[in-house]
Amino acid sequence: MRTRIKICGLTRAADVEAAVAAGVDAIGLVFYQGSPRAVSAAQARSLAKGLPAWMCLVGLFVNASRDEMLRLADQVGLSHLQLHGNETPEDCQGLGRPVIKALRLPAGPAGLDAPALIKLAQPYADCSAVLLDADSAGYGGSGQAFDWSCLSGAQSTLGLNWVLSGGLTTENVKSAVAQFSPPAVDVSSGVEQMVDGVTQKGLKDAHRIEAFVKAVRQADQDKEMSKR
């Protein structure tokens, strides 16, 4: 099965064009004002014009009101809602669009084991998917990874309804796909511009996007070859 790819935190038309050209499946726009990647409704509508038919347009929210999410979803034409705050399972219901609920997992080696991860995800079983990300003060986009060892033994229970995120880069995504076969991957800081070793948050790098997508596709190809 082909791994789906989402690029999150886009703020410029050129970056949307680069993501489309690279062949990603979805782009994400951040509507959390505490993020350096946040966009306004007007910016989001402008960016959405650069998407081809059938590409997913995901809106990222953090503890937003139901009215705000529904209003922006209608104004911008969001296909999915991605909730990164302290939303309860009930908060994820009745939003009129598929909901991806982010689960913020401890960064570093002192993480969860597989049973704890499954227990954390179970209340959100009615969501379209859970997104596994490292916990951070900025609710995502930190470039940190959680301990992937908790994925071993959890994939069969999570099925197709999970997304791997947090600290993914061109250098490690191929290994992640090969080891854990995530149905989808989500990257933000891992494809952003670097200036003097500093990530330029919200400014994507077309070459890094292309390289990231190629790494995922190569991992998919390698998995298929190994089955023959």
Catalytically active residues are 8, 133
3-state secondary structure of 88: coil
Which of 128, 119, 126, 134 is closest to 184 using CA atoms?
Answer: 128
Exposure string for 84-109, b = 16+ CB within 10 A, e = fewer: beebeeebbeebeeebbbbbbbebee
Which of 130, 129, 135, 89 is closest to 112 using CA atoms?
Answer: 135
Cα–Cα distance, 150 to 212 (Å, whole number):
24
Between strands 4-8 and 184-187, the pairing is: parallel
Cα–Cα distance, 133 to 121 (Å, whole number):
12
